Amino acid sequence: MKPAALILIAGVAWAATTVPRVREVNVYGLRKLTAERIMRSGRLRAGETLPPSKGDLEDRLSEISGVIRARVEAVCCEGPDALLFVGIEEKDGPHVAFHSDPAGSAALPEGLAATYQQFLATVQRAAQRKNAASATGPERPLISDAEARGFEEKFGDYAAGHLPELREVLRNGSDPEERAVAAAVIGYAPSKQEVIDDLQYSMQDPDEAVRSNALRSLRAIAVFAQGEPGLQSRLTPTWPVELLNSIVLSDRLQAADLLITLTDHENRAALDQMRTQALPSLVEMARWESLGYALRPFLLVGRIAGLSDQEIHERWSKGEREAVIEKALGKR
């Protein structure tokens, strides 16, 4: 089961009239602390109602000795329940550093941001109609919905003629929403070779929405690059591997998606980098209670262990997660 893209699901509002119950709690970022300690300090338990204040919960968790900060996200799911993800950044754990906030005056042309919001609304409607699957186009996978695909084709035309402006916004635009739009639109540029460096730069943006769009754009390019060895060699795993250690849930999920694509065919360098720099993070994600979110990191753990995708899925179906995890850990 594949988790829904975060762009198409709403976070559960803490102030909702009917407070949902927590179906599952998934903790990540732990190195010395235990999940039990986090659950106890946060007074978290599956089956209970969602905590009344996200901010208060994060503050309470941040007061635990050894914790630098906490990040809590509730994700809606099928039915009335919520999935709770609790990210912890420990003092002695990995720390992901990003660029400083840009302070320049670069801005998108009038109307592009509004057009992008219209595109997102169209994609959401298509998803509700089950018509948002990707169809492979000549330059990147395009959404099968005709209206949404029309927006994508416009973005390709715009990116082809305005690369300098998009690059300037990514590096020197002070508005994070505009940088996020630029990171999405530049991915539609016809010449993928020209924009890979820009997107890899944007994976280090201080704003999570910018990073998320950069990762999505790079994943689309990675799909296209599977038939282009020269292009594929330009897609380095360094930053997506680093983002597997992020406290931000979308960083981890989008990075895992990109790395799955980068390792669909033999990519020993990427697998070795994940093993040495992010295996503990992948392991804790592969152990999540929410299976729809655990499967993709589990696939990466299995590839690190040297298993074929068929064997990984067979082990998953048999409930043999720990055996695969132990095999990967034994290869360190």
Residues 81 and 124 in one domain: no
Residues 286 and 262 in one domain: no
| DSSP state at residue 11 | B
Residues 174 and 207 in one domain: yes
CA distances for 1 relative to 56, 175, 295, 313, angstroms: 33, 36, 7, 11
Q: Which stretch of DSSP H or E encloses residue 227?
A: none
How many domains, in total, are found in the chain? 3
Residues 20 and 66 in one domain: yes
Residues 299 and 160 in one domain: no
Instruction: Classify 236 as helix, strand or coil.
Output: coil
**Residue at a domain's end among 267, 290, 319:** 267
Report if residue 230 sits inside a domain: yes
CATH number at residue 253: 1.25.10.10
Which pLDDT belongs to residue 6?
37
**Residue at a domain's end among 224, 240, 267:** 267
Report if residue 137 sits inside a domain: yes
Residues 55 and 79 in one domain: yes
Q: pLDDT tens per residue, the chain (332 residues)?
A: 334 333 323 344 444 457 789 999 999 999 999 999 999 999 999 999 998 899 999 999 999 999 999 999 999 866 789 999 999 999 999 999 999 999 999 999 989 999 999 999 998 888 877 644 444 443 444 567 788 889 999 999 999 999 999 999 999 999 999 999 999 999 999 999 999 999 999 999 999 999 999 999 999 999 988 877 777 778 999 999 999 999 999 999 999 999 999 999 889 999 999 999 999 999 999 999 999 999 999 999 999 999 999 999 999 999 999 999 999 999 65
Residues 76 and 141 in one domain: no
Residues 116 and 80 in one domain: no
Report if residue 60 sits inside a domain: yes
Query: pTM for the full model?
Result: 0.89
Residues 35 and 136 in one domain: no
The Cα 189–Cα 153 span in angstroms is 10
Report if residue 100 sits inside a domain: no
Residues 205 and 263 in one domain: yes
The Cα 216–Cα 257 span in angstroms is 9
Tokens in use for 242?
A: 């680093």
**Residue at a domain's end among 232, 267, 302:** 267
Instruction: Classify 86 as helix, strand or coil.
Output: strand
Q: Domain of residue 144: give its range.
A: 112-267
Residues 246 and 213 in one domain: yes
Report if residue 223 sits inside a domain: yes
Nearest CA to 187 among 220, 235, 164? 220
